Structure 1
C-alpha cells in the first residue's frame, strides 16, 4: 500500500510530502491551495515538475531490435541454414518455403510482444479526457492530463475521477469496482480520516479511474499520473517483462545442441573424407548431406502448430489463451490460487437458514422467515427489476429478497414507496442501513457482518449469538445479522449514518449459501491426482471459505486457514507455502494475491492465479498463468492475464492444465520422431566414409531432403494432434528445470528406434547389391554393369527409411502406455499422414521424372516384401522396451505373514 504518493523530483517541496490523511487545514497548507484553487501559472509550474496526469508506459523496444531478436532465434538460424542448404542443393522451391516459415514465425512472435502494453493501455482508458477544476477562483474544464497536485476539482454523478483526491466538501457515491473488484458502490464524504484503515477504504478519498454514481463534491488532488493507485497498478503490471516459458527456453537449448552436433559432424566428415582421399567436391557434398540429416527443418513450425492447436482446443473448452507458449506453461503448473465466489461456487446465493432470538435456528430452504425479519431483509436492499423483468443487484441482496417469500413484487413496491434514506454498504463498517416509514413513524433497518451489527445492538447476548454465527459459518453459510430501530413519532430521517445505526434491536441471523459448481469437486480430485496444490484466496470469512473448501475437496492432506490474510508477514507466508497443507487465505486483498504469487515464484513453483478486478492485474501479471474471469472480470484484468475463462469456472483451469500437459507430451513425441531418423540418415555416410569408398553411398543428399521435407513432415505435424495418453493427470507436474529433451529420450531415439532403423535399411541396401553379385570395391557409377543394381539399392534404402518412419511414428505415439491402450485409429490425422508419405515415396520411386531427379528405380517384389515388415519390427522393438519399463515400475505387494 502506498504511503508517499508523490514524485521524487520535488521531494524537498511541501507538495511532494503532503499526506492525504492529514487534517484538511494542514493538507491545504502543504499543497498550497485554497478555496480559489491554484493559479494558472502555478499549475503550469507544477505540470513541468510532476509531468502529465497519465499512466506512463514502459519504453518500447525498437522495431529493429524486436525483428532481429526473432530472426536470430537459434531455431530461426537453423532454418536459415536449412534454407541455404536447399538452395545449394539446387532446390529453390524448398529454400523459399523455409524462408517463408521463418518470416511467418517472426511476425507471429512480434504480435505477442504487445500484451503488457495492451494491459497498460486498458488502464489508461479509465482516465477521463476532461476534468472540472477551479483555478484562479473560476470553474473551468481542462484536459485531465493537465491536472497537478493541489488542484481543486469538482465531481458529480456520472463523472470519472481524474486523479487521487481528498474531499473538501460534499459527499459522493463511488463505484470502486475497477480497483477493488467489489460491485457495490461505496460512500465517500468530506470527513476526518480514520486511523488503521487501508488507503482505499478511507472515507474521504477518491481515486483516479473510479466512477461517481451519485452526489456532488469538491476535492483537492494529492496524486497524479503514475503516483495514483491506478498508476501504481500499471507500474506493477509492467514492472518486469514476461520471462520465457519453460518450453521457449528449452527449445533454444535444443536448437543450439542440434546446431553444434550438425556443424561438428560436418567438419569431422570433411576431415575423414580428406584422410581417405575423397575428392573435395564429394567431401563437401557428404558434409552438406550430414547437415541436412541433422537439421530438423520442420521442428519450429511443428511446435508452433502444436501450440496453436492447443489454443484452439482450449478456446472451445472455455479458456482463451493469449500466448501460444502459455499452453505449455499450463502443463508444468503445480499450484493453482483461486477465488471462491463465482469460480468454485455458482455465485447464486440463496437463503439456506435463519435464526431468531426467540425461535432458534431453522434450516429450511424455501421457507420464509418470520414477517418482521422478512420485512427488514427486503427493506435493507437496493434490488430492482430490469427491463426484461429480471432481478438486478448484488447476488447477496437478491438472495435476501427472494428468500422472503413469493410476494416479492409487492414487497419491493412497498419498500420503494416508504423509503426515506439509504446509507449504502460501507466495506469499512461492514454495514448497510435504510430509513423507511412503518405505520405512523420511521424505522431504521440494518444488515451487515454479525460482529458489526451486534456492536450496535442493545440487549443481545453477544456470546450466544456469535456461537450461532460460528455454527452457521462452519456449515459453509455466509452469515448476516439483521436489526431494526423505531424512530420517535414525528422524527425525520437521521442525517448521518452513525446517528441511524445505534440502539438497534437484533431481529435475527440469515445464512446464505452459494453452492459449489457441481464439476469443481471432480476437478479438485483431478488436481490432487496430478500433484497440483490448490489454495483459495478470498475476501470472504475464513470459516465459510473453509467449509466450501471441504465441500469441494480442497485441503489434502490438510487445510490451513489464515483468517486475516492481509496481516500475514512474508516469513509466515514462506513457512505456510513450503508446508504440505492447502491454504485458505481469508479476508484477502488484491495485494495479498500479489504477495502469494511472489512467494510461490520465489520457491520455484509454477503458479496459476485467478482474478477479476483491475487491482488484481499485478498478481495476474506476476503469476506464470494469470487467469481472468471472462464474465465478471474487468477489461484491465483480462488484458493483464495470460488466459481468460469465458465461463468463470475452476474446472476449466484444470482442463487447461491437462491440455498443457498433452501439448508438451506431443512436442516431445514429434521431437523423438524427428531425432530417431538422424541415425539411419547418418549411418550410410559413416559407412561410405569409413570404407574409404569401397562401399558406395547408400543414400543421396536429395533423397535425405525428400525425407526431411517431404515424407517426414505430415506425420510429425499429426503427432502434435495426438490425444492425451492414459494417466496423463495421474502423474506429478514435471519440474520446470526438466528439459524437453532428456537422456531417456535420446537413448530411445538413437539407441532403440534409430539403431534398429539403421540396421534394417543398411541390411536391405546390402541385400540388393549382394544379390546382384556386388563385392566391396566394385564400380557402381553410371555405365558400370552394377549401376542399375546400385540405383535399386539406394532406392531400397530410401524406401526402407520411409517405412521405418511409419513404425517410429506409431511407437512415438506413447511414452508409457501400449499402443493397444491408445488405440490404433485414435489419431486419424496420423493415418492420413502415413498414407501421404507412402504415396509420396511411391511417386519418387516409380514416376520417371522423379526417378531421374532423385536417382531412384522401381523395386522388385521381394524387396518390397522385406521393406513392408520394417514398420512392425521398429514398433515391436520399442513396444518391448516400454513393456519392460512398465513391468519394472510395478512393485510387488508385500506377502502376508503366515499364521
Structure 2
C-alpha cells in the first residue's frame, strides 16, 4: 500500500510528529518522500504553519509596567515629597523630584524588556537560506519558507535551518549551543536508540546548530516555535525575573517609613491641636514632620551609587545591565558555571601521547621537542601521521583554520618538533577519505619516501579492530581508559604502506591491516586565572557548581584541575534523570557538584532548587541553551567574546573578557556596593531624628517653643547638603576583610536595614546630633533673652533672633552631617585603619555642603527664601565642634564593640 501523497490528501498535518519513529512511518506522517514536497504543497503548508522563525509574544505590558513603577513605595514617597514641595511653593524642586521618579521608572522598563530581546536574538541563529529538494529538484529557498516534510541538503559549513531527521549520509554537528559539549557529535541516517534523550538521538539535528563535516539529506519534522530552539525561546519568555534582595528590602523599608511618617503625623497632629496649636500651625507641623521622615534623596542616591558600581565593573570587564544586580552580586552564595568556554578556553590542545614501545608521556611544556626526540622514531612517526591526516589550512592572517581537533593535532605535532608544511602535505596527497561519523575514522593516502602511505585517525574503538594480524590491543585499551579518566579526548593513529602499483578504490580496502602508531590525548585546558578565582570564591564562602552538557569524566577532571570540589566533589553523570529529592540533597550538602549531561531544563531545575533553599544564584553560560537559566538565576553571567547574542540578552551581566576571574571581582564590588549602600542609608537615617524632634518640641509645647526648623530648610538639607556626601559614601573603599566574610543569608540579620543599624542611626548618631542641634537653638534664643511663650513672629522684637536660632539649627544639622559622614565610613574598623583621605570624593562633598550652607546663611537672596540669618562667630565656633563630637562618640562605640568581640 502506497503512502498518501500530499496532493491526494488535504487534511492538515499533525502539529508535532515523533521524529524517532521508523523512517517509513515518519515519512507517512509527514506525507513526504524521496522527491520531497511539491511547490504547491509547500506553499499550502507555509500558510498553515507560518514562517520558520522564532517569534516573540506581544505582551502589550508597557502601560501596566509603567504604572507599576510609578506606584513603587519609594516612588509614592517621592510623589508625596514632590507634592509637599509644590505646597511649599518650591515648584522647581517639585519638578526635579518628578523627573527623578520618571527616570527611575524608565530604567525599570528597560529591564523588563530583556526577556523579549533575548527571544528576538534567537533569530540570528537561523540561516538565511537553505537547499531543499522540491518536485524532485534541488533548489535554494529562504530558510523561513521551510515547512514540515521538506527534504533538505546539509553539507560542511551549513547551519541547520530546522529540526530534521537524517535520511541519507552522515554529518558531524556542533551542538555546543544546545548541549554545551565542546566536541562535534556524529549524526547519521541510522536507527533510533531506545530511551535516548532527544538531543542524543544519533539521527536527529536541530535548528541553529552547525554542520562541521560530512554531507547528508534530512527531512524536516519541526519548524519555528515547534523546534528545540523555539522551545528554549518559550522557556525564556515564561521565566520571569524577580526583584533583587536590595529591591525587596528597600520596598519593605519604604512602606515602613511611609507608615511611620503618616502615623506619627496623624497622632501628633491630634496632640498639637489638643494642646491649643492653631490649625494652620498644626498643618505646618504635619507637613514638616512628613518631609522630615521621607528620605527624598534615598532612591536617587541608591540609583546613582549602583550606577557608579556599574561603571567600575565595566572598567574591570563586566558589563552589568541592571543596576540592582550589582548589589545582588555581593549577596551571591552559589555560582553555577558552564565548563566549555567558561572554565576552559574552548580550544583543544594536545596534552599527551602514547606509543606501543614508549608508553604515555606529556606533550606539554617547553622542552617537548627534545622529549619527543628522546622517545625515538615512534613519537616522530606518530606526530607525522597525525598532522598528515588533516585538512587544516592557514587563513590570510597566518592562523590555522579548520576543525578544532585537527588544529590541535597540527599544533601538537609542531610542538613535538614535527611541523608540517600544509602546502607540501596537499601536494603529496593521493586520496582523501573524510571523517565519516558512522565509521568514526578519517584517512589519507600520501606519497611518503616514495611509497603510498595510509595515515588513519579516529576513535580508538573504531581503529583498534582494524589492526593487522589480530594484534594485541590490551595495553592500548588500558591506555585509552587511563587517558579518558583524566578528561582527555582520545584518538588512535595508525598507518599502512600500500603497494606502489595500485591504490584501492574502496575505503574499507584502505583502512585495514593497519599498524598502530599510538594514541593522542586532546585537552580543552582551563583558563589560567580560573584556579585562583575559584580559590577566592572559596575564601569568600561561595560554592561553585559545574552544570554542563559534557560528559562526567571530562567535566570532573576540569573541575578538580581548577580546585572545584576540593577536597570532595560529587559527580552526577546524568543530570537529566536526577530526581527532585536527590537534587535537593546534593545542593543542600556542603560540597560542590558537577552536573554532567545537563539540558536547559536541568539548569532551570538547579537554579530553582537553589532558590528554594534560600540561596542567591549566579549562573554563567554562553550558549543558547543557557538563556532560560540565565534569565531565571538572580544573576545571569554571559560570556561577551564567545557567548551567543541570546545568552548576552538574557543575562544581567556580560563578561567582556570571558574571564571567570572577573566574576570574583564583581562579587567583591557587589559586596562593597552593598556595604556602601548601608553606609549612606545610615547617614541619611541619622538625620531624621534632629529633623523630627524640632517639630515634636513645637507640637508638644503647644507653640510655646517656636518651630526650630522650617520645611524649606529640611528640603535644603535632604536634597541639598545631604546628597553629595551620601553619593561619596557610595564610592567608599572596601573595609579590610571584606572577601573573607561568609555570604549574607536572607533573614539572618543581614538586610540592608537592620536593628543594629537603626539603633546606631537613631539612638546613637541621631540622638547625639539632636542634643547638639537643640542645644545650639536654645543657646541662641536664651542669649537673646527669650522665654517660653515670647512672640517671635514677623515684626516682633525677637524675630531676628528667632531667624538666627533656626539658622543655627539648620547649620548645626549640617555640621552633624559632617561628623556622621566620617563615622559612617566604617562599620567595624576604626577611621585610622581606613584612612582619613582615602575617599577624596567624600572630602569634596563635605566641602560642597559647607559652601552651600554658607551661601544659604550669608547670601541675602537666599536668606529671604530659606528664612536664614547671619550667625555670630561664637555660634559658628560652637558649631565647629559638632563634627568631632558626633564622630568621636561613634568611634568610641565602635572601639568598645571591637573590644567586646575580641574578649
Using structure 2 for the length normalisation, give the TM-score.
0.90
Q: Which residue of 2 aligns with 1:520?
A: 530
- In structure 2, do the counterparts of structure 1 residues 451 and 585 end up closer, same or farther at CA, with 3 Å as the change threshold? farther
Structure 1 residue 858, shift from structure 2 partner? 1.6
- SS of the residue aligned with 1:148? coil
**1:764 counterpart (766, 771, 776):** 776
Structure 1 residue 49, shift from structure 2 partner? 5.1
Q: Which residue of 2 aligns with 1:695?
A: 705
Structure 1 residue 778, shift from structure 2 partner? 2.2
Aligned ranges for residues 396-407 of structure 1 at < 5 Å? 396-404=405-413, 405-407=416-418
Distance in 2 between residues matched to 1:455 and 1:762, nearest whole Å: 95
Matched, 1:344 2:347: no
Contact 2:122 2:229 in 1 (8 A): yes
1:685-720 CA distances to partner (integer Å, 9 max, x unpaired)? 111111122211111111111111111111111111
Q: Which residue of 1 aligns with 2:7?
A: none
Structure 1 residue 553, shift from structure 2 partner? 2.9
Distance in 1 between residues matched to 2:166 and 2:480, nearest whole Å: 37
Consecutive unaligned residues in structure 1, runs of 5 or more: 1-11, 892-899
Q: Which residue of 1 aligns with 2:8?
A: none
Distance in 2 between residues matched to 1:624 and 1:807, nearest whole Å: 37
Matched, 1:434 2:419: no
Q: Which residue of 1 aligns with 2:821?
A: 809
Structure 1 residue 834, shift from structure 2 partner? 0.5
Distance in 1 between residues matched to 2:487 and 2:219, nearest whole Å: 42
Structure 1 residue 319, shift from structure 2 partner? 1.0
- In structure 2, do the counterparts of structure 1 residues 519 and 31 end up closer, same or farther at CA, with 3 Å as the change threshold? closer
- SS of the residue aligned with 2:637? strand
Q: Which residue of 2 aligns with 1:753?
A: 765
- In structure 2, do the counterparts of structure 1 residues 398 and 43 end up closer, same or farther at CA, with 3 Å as the change threshold? closer
Contact 1:373 1:482 in 2 (8 A): no
- SS of the residue aligned with 1:682? helix
Distance in 2 between residues matched to 1:203 and 1:402, nearest whole Å: 31
Structure 1 residue 48, shift from structure 2 partner? 5.7
Q: Which residue of 1 aligns with 2:387?
A: 378
Distance in 2 between residues matched to 1:843 and 1:66, nearest whole Å: 42
Contact 2:16 2:222 in 1 (8 A): no
- In structure 2, do the counterparts of structure 1 residues 758 and 335 end up closer, same or farther at CA, with 3 Å as the change threshold? same
Matched, 1:486 2:485: no
Q: Which residue of 1 aligns with 2:637?
A: 627
Structure 1 residue 804, shift from structure 2 partner? 0.5
Distance in 1 between residues matched to 2:433 and 2:330, nearest whole Å: 50
Residue range with higher mean Cα deviation, 390-399 or 113-122: 390-399
Q: Which residue of 1 aligns with 2:276?
A: 277
Contact 1:342 1:649 in 2 (8 A): no
Q: Which residue of 2 aligns with 1:583?
A: 593
Contact 1:70 1:106 in 2 (8 A): yes
Q: Which residue of 1 aligns with 2:162?
A: 163
1:296-326 CA distances to partner (integer Å, 9 max, x unpaired)? 1111111111111111111111111122121
**1:392 counterpart (401, 413, 420):** 401
Contact 1:479 1:509 in 2 (8 A): no
Residue range with higher mean Cα deviation, 838-847 or 241-250: 241-250
Distance in 1 between residues matched to 2:887 and 2:286, nearest whole Å: 31
- SS of the residue aligned with 2:740? coil
Contact 1:181 1:614 in 2 (8 A): no
Contact 1:779 1:786 in 2 (8 A): yes
- In structure 2, do the counterparts of structure 1 residues 259 and 557 end up closer, same or farther at CA, with 3 Å as the change threshold? farther
Matched, 1:794 2:806: yes
Contact 2:463 2:492 in 1 (8 A): yes
Residue range with higher mean Cα deviation, 860-869 or 161-170: 161-170
- In structure 2, do the counterparts of structure 1 residues 16 and 544 end up closer, same or farther at CA, with 3 Å as the change threshold? closer
Distance in 1 between residues matched to 2:558 and 2:172, nearest whole Å: 33
Q: Which residue of 1 aligns with 2:6?
A: none
- In structure 2, do the counterparts of structure 1 residues 502 and 540 end up closer, same or farther at CA, with 3 Å as the change threshold? farther
Distance in 2 between residues matched to 1:195 and 1:503, nearest whole Å: 34
Distance in 1 between residues matched to 2:652 and 2:433, nearest whole Å: 41
Residue range with higher mean Cα deviation, 462-471 or 807-816: 462-471
1:731-788 CA distances to partner (integer Å, 9 max, x unpaired)? 1111244532111111111111111111110111112222222222222223333333
Structure 1 residue 652, shift from structure 2 partner? 0.6
Q: Which residue of 1 aligns with 2:615?
A: 605
Residue range with higher mean Cα deviation, 618-627 or 556-565: 556-565
- SS of the residue aligned with 2:238? coil
Q: Which residue of 1 aligns with 2:895?
A: 883
Q: Which residue of 1 aligns with 2:245?
A: 246
Structure 1 residue 46, shift from structure 2 partner? 4.6
Matched, 1:867 2:879: yes
1:56-114 CA distances to partner (integer Å, 9 max, x unpaired)? 32332332212212222221111111111111101111111111111222222222222
Residue range with higher mean Cα deviation, 452-461 or 316-325: 452-461
1:777-825 CA distances to partner (integer Å, 9 max, x unpaired)? 2222233333332222111111110000111111111122211111111
- SS of the residue aligned with 2:891? helix
Aligned ranges for residues 317-356 of structure 1 at < 5 Å? 317-346=316-345, 350-356=349-355
Structure 1 residue 573, shift from structure 2 partner? 2.6
Matched, 1:678 2:677: no
Q: What is the total number of aligned residue pairs between the two structures?
A: 875
Contact 1:40 1:135 in 2 (8 A): yes
Contact 1:330 1:656 in 2 (8 A): yes
Contact 1:184 1:394 in 2 (8 A): no
- In structure 2, do the counterparts of structure 1 residues 718 and 394 end up closer, same or farther at CA, with 3 Å as the change threshold? farther
- In structure 2, do the counterparts of structure 1 residues 425 and 697 end up closer, same or farther at CA, with 3 Å as the change threshold? farther
Consecutive unaligned residues in structure 2, runs of 5 or more: 1-10
Distance in 2 between residues matched to 1:739 and 1:303, nearest whole Å: 15
**2:419 counterpart (401, 408, 413):** 408
Structure 1 residue 601, shift from structure 2 partner? 2.7
- SS of the residue aligned with 2:850? helix
Matched, 1:62 2:61: yes
**2:786 counterpart (774, 790, 793):** 774
Contact 1:470 1:543 in 2 (8 A): no
Structure 1 residue 386, shift from structure 2 partner? 1.4
Matched, 1:443 2:454: yes
**1:844 counterpart (833, 856, 860):** 856
Q: Which residue of 1 aligns with 2:734?
A: 724
Q: Which residue of 1 aligns with 2:432?
A: 421
- In structure 2, do the counterparts of structure 1 residues 416 and 664 end up closer, same or farther at CA, with 3 Å as the change threshold? farther
Distance in 1 between residues matched to 2:561 and 2:190, nearest whole Å: 44
- SS of the residue aligned with 1:745? helix
Distance in 2 between residues matched to 1:76 and 1:828, nearest whole Å: 31
Q: Which residue of 1 aligns with 2:198?
A: 199
Contact 1:444 1:487 in 2 (8 A): no
- In structure 2, do the counterparts of structure 1 residues 666 and 235 end up closer, same or farther at CA, with 3 Å as the change threshold? same
Contact 1:161 1:207 in 2 (8 A): yes
Contact 2:176 2:182 in 1 (8 A): yes
Structure 1 residue 199, shift from structure 2 partner? 3.0
- SS of the residue aligned with 1:238? helix
Contact 2:444 2:456 in 1 (8 A): yes
Contact 1:444 1:500 in 2 (8 A): no
Distance in 2 between residues matched to 1:217 and 1:481, nearest whole Å: 24
What root-mean-square deviation, in Å, do the aligned CA atoms of Structure 1 and Structure 2 show? 3.1
Structure 1 residue 177, shift from structure 2 partner? 4.7
- In structure 2, do the counterparts of structure 1 residues 62 and 840 end up closer, same or farther at CA, with 3 Å as the change threshold? same
- In structure 2, do the counterparts of structure 1 residues 835 and 127 end up closer, same or farther at CA, with 3 Å as the change threshold? same
Structure 1 residue 349, shift from structure 2 partner? 5.3
Structure 1 residue 350, shift from structure 2 partner? 4.6
Structure 1 residue 285, shift from structure 2 partner? 0.9
Distance in 2 between residues matched to 1:341 and 1:46, nearest whole Å: 39
Structure 1 residue 842, shift from structure 2 partner? 0.7
Contact 2:441 2:462 in 1 (8 A): no
Distance in 2 between residues matched to 1:720 and 1:530, nearest whole Å: 22
- SS of the residue aligned with 1:825? coil
Q: Which residue of 2 aligns with 1:6?
A: none
Distance in 2 between residues matched to 1:425 and 1:558, nearest whole Å: 40
**2:718 counterpart (708, 716, 721):** 708
